[in-house]
Structure 1
Amino acid sequence: MNVKQFIFIGAMGMTLQGCNHIGNFSTDSINKYATPQALIDQKKLNAANGGAKEYVYDWGQQQKSTETQALYPRKYLGSYCHAKGGKFALLYKSNLYLVKDQTQKKRLTGNSNVKQGIGAYECVLPNERWIVSIEPTAEGKLESRLAARVVSLQTRMLSADEAKQWYKNVASNSAEKKTAKSATTTKNSKTEIAKEPDNKKEAEKKKESKPTVVEATQTVTAPAVETPQQQQLKAYVTARRDLSKGTNKLNACNNAQRAYNYGKLAGTNANVYTDSGMLVARCLTSVPAYSTRFSNPKGQADKILQNLASNYNHAGAKRMLKQGR
């Protein structure tokens, strides 16, 4: 067996293993993930540093029937949502804005497997909803020299406002570029026509009477993409501040829930996650505008406190559980 054959069989084995794993993604196994962010982290849908991870989207002519890996992030999160009793659907389409190389973008745009697995997806549950963004950042060949191509995918949790702002701004930037290009083409066409008047003197008079227009070029910069760690910390700080002041309580509770939903992120202090959970438990027991959204708010609070007490030895959570009894 030569090296190419060995690599080929190894790649096939990994792919089939991935297919079987997703196929056996049952309700029982899904329940061990406290949040969708925990699923992203534990299933390693992103690279070790939290950045984009490579997935094969085209295995080549000899492996056309092999399932594409580029659908894995969407399938995992969709299965997680459905197992929780939610509805998982596309919220915003991707225009591959993060892929800067036009040749790479053209290849990805023409591949249906890639297009089916990217964009912003929303999971709507009875008591909450969450949004995940799956965006390609680059495309290239598989390093093992197989006739396969990979796409780098970044999977991130977003709030409703963040998703709306990101995809709205990206769409606006693309529209502005198209409009500017169209305006330039129209202007050039008018200039060409003006060069061929029957009466040159009359044309020159028109030019003299025409005011000179100086066009200002404005560069539109895409909004900086915050890391999940930054998003979690931002939501937690806002929630803690508002609850301490006693203002915007409902919004504060929503931010606390958002921060807690990220789970314990790699490279962050556990306090951000655990303290967010404490805030959510507090909201469930003392903020009616928030707690009335749940059928059993005290039970939900106890569940969170049990998690913090058992898995993180949180003294505050243990104290609240004793007081509740």
Structure 2
Amino acid sequence: MGMTLQGCNHISNFSTDSINKYATPQALIDQKKLNASNGGAKEYVYDWGQQQKSTEPQALYPRKYLGSYCHAKGGKFGLLYKSNLHLVKDQAQKKRLMANGNVKQGIGAYECVLPDEHWIVSIEPTAEGKLESNLSARAVSLQTRMLSADEAHQWYKNIGGNSTEKKTTKNAVTTKNSKIEIAKEPDNKKDTEKKKESKPTVETSQNVTAPVVETPQQQQLKAYVTARRDLSKGTNKLNACNSAQRAYNYGKLAGTNASVYIDSGMLVARCLTSVPAYSSRFSNPKGQANKILQNLASNYNHAGAKRMLKQGQ
């Protein structure tokens, strides 16, 4: 396994001031390069070996960065779902990872609860192996991605502990005792009967396939399209607003234009001012909407956001 950890400086250098420059947790994930350049899993050292035993394990970086970000915003950050390592296909790799405390402390689904919102991030291992540059060290590939509450529930609750493996259950089925007649012997002894209990086994197998992991760009676009469609139709408004918020929380993703992020923000502002079922969850929905509009007007020169600010919504 090769190592490319640009953007992952020592965690102690990650100050509160530097955290506040990230508009969203997805922006933090992208700009700190917690994933690979294609949005997939990135390698982190979890065991440096005996000679560098005191060196800080990199496998804790994604959790620590996002936890520090949440705390700096005034939120509470904690484990929501434990990881069952179902993306790790190789059983020997899975066994090594499950036995390592540095890995187990940094994986799973974590929730940040803020006064006006909450978000969930998933940190999942996909593989494990030795480093090419340091054969005494071992690394784990971690994928960090934002999830909605429904996605997190589906991913962690509906997927079995070993979702990519065949689960075999053997049920013993007992038949009635059957009498088997023993052939008569030449000396004309009496016939004897022998009871024999037969227990055939029935083997059933179930193969559950883990869902395909979408890139953050795909997830953001999907959430935005759903929100725009439902709000245009006037149906499922609360779910539509939640989808818009989720799309906006991704921030401006690398490799995409800003339109999806901007338009999602406009939808959220609309929800905060005209959808009571959604806005009632916030202590100051109008102030929250103004904050979003000011961001879009100042950083993206968005005419619609400027107009809404002038109109006072």
Band the TM-score falls in, shorter-chain normalisation? 0.7 to 0.9
Specify the code of the residue in structure 2 equivalent to 1:148.
A
Instruction: Judging by fraction of residues, say which structure has more helix.
Output: 1
Among 89, 92, 102, the residue aligned to 2:78: 89
* Equivalent in 276, 281, 284 of residue 296 of structure 1: 284
Aligned CA RMSD, in angstroms, stands at 3.0
1:266 aligns with 2:257: no
Q: Does 1:50 align with 2:39?
A: yes
C-alpha separation in 2, matches of 1:261 and 1:79: 17
Comparing 303-312 with 111-120, which one deviates more in the overlay? 303-312
- Show the counterpart of 1:159: 148
Greater alpha carbon shift after TM alignment, 56-65 vs 215-224: 215-224
SS of equivalent residue, structure 1 residue 171: coil
Aligned to 1:18: 9
Moved more, 45-54 or 234-243: 234-243
Distance 1:226 1:200 in 2: 65
Aligned residue among 95, 101, 109 for 1:120:
109
CA contact (8 A) 1:58 1:68 kept: yes
> Who is 1:220 aligned against?
208
- Structure 1 residues 199 and 75: alpha-carbon distance in aligned structure 2, compared to 1, 3 A threshold: same
Give, in whole Å, the separation in 2 of the partners of 1:148 and 1:173. 27
- Report the Cα distance in structure 1 between the residues aligned to 2:205 and 2:216, rounded to whole angstroms: 34
Please tell me whether the aligned partners of residues 86 and 161 of structure 2 are also in contact (alpha carbons under 8 angstroms): no
Q: Compute the displacement of 1:63 (Å).
A: 1.0
Alpha-carbon distance between aligned partners in 2 of 1:316 and 1:203, rounded to the nearest angstrom: 90
CA gap 1:205/1:150 in 2 versus in 1, 3 angstroms: closer
Task: Name the counterpart of 1:6.
Answer: none
Identity %: 82
Q: Flag structure 1 segments of 5+ consecutive residues without an equivalent.
A: 1-10
Which one of the candidate residues 250, 260, 268 is aligned to 1:280? 268
CA distance in 1, matches of 2:43, 2:19: 24
* CA offset digits 1:234-273 (Å, max 9, x no partner): 2111111111112222221111111100111122332111
| Aligned equivalents of 2:287, 2:98: Cα separation in 1 | 47
Q: CA deviation at 1:170?
A: 2.4
Please give the TM-score of this superposition, normalised by the length of structure 1: 0.82
SS of match in other structure, 1:170: coil
**Mapped contact 2:83–2:109 kept (Cα < 8 A):** yes
Aligned match for 2:159, one of 170, 182, 202:
170
Which amino acid in 2 is paired with 1:318?
K
Moved more, 294-303 or 277-286: 294-303
- 2:210 is matched by which residue type in structure 1? A
Give the superposition deviation at 1:70.
0.1
Distance 1:275 1:92 in 2: 31
1:101 matched to 2:90: yes
Say which of 250, 253, 260 aligns to 2:238.
Answer: 250
TM-score when normalising by structure 2: 0.85
Tell me if structure 2 keeps the 8 A contact 1:169–1:222. Answer: no
> Quick one: which amino acid aligns to residue 20 of structure 2?
N
Structure having the larger proportion of residues in strand: 2
Output the CA distance in 1 between the equivalents of 2:103 and 2:57: 9
Shift of 1:83: 0.9
CA drift at 1:301: 1.3
- Say which is worse superposed, 255-264 or 282-291, in terms of deviation: 282-291
- The size of the alignment, in residue pairs, is 298
- Greater shift, 270-279 or 299-308, is seen at 299-308
Q: Is the 8 A contact 1:57 1:113 kept in 2?
A: yes
Task: Say whether residues 1:74 and 2:50 are aligned partners.
Answer: no
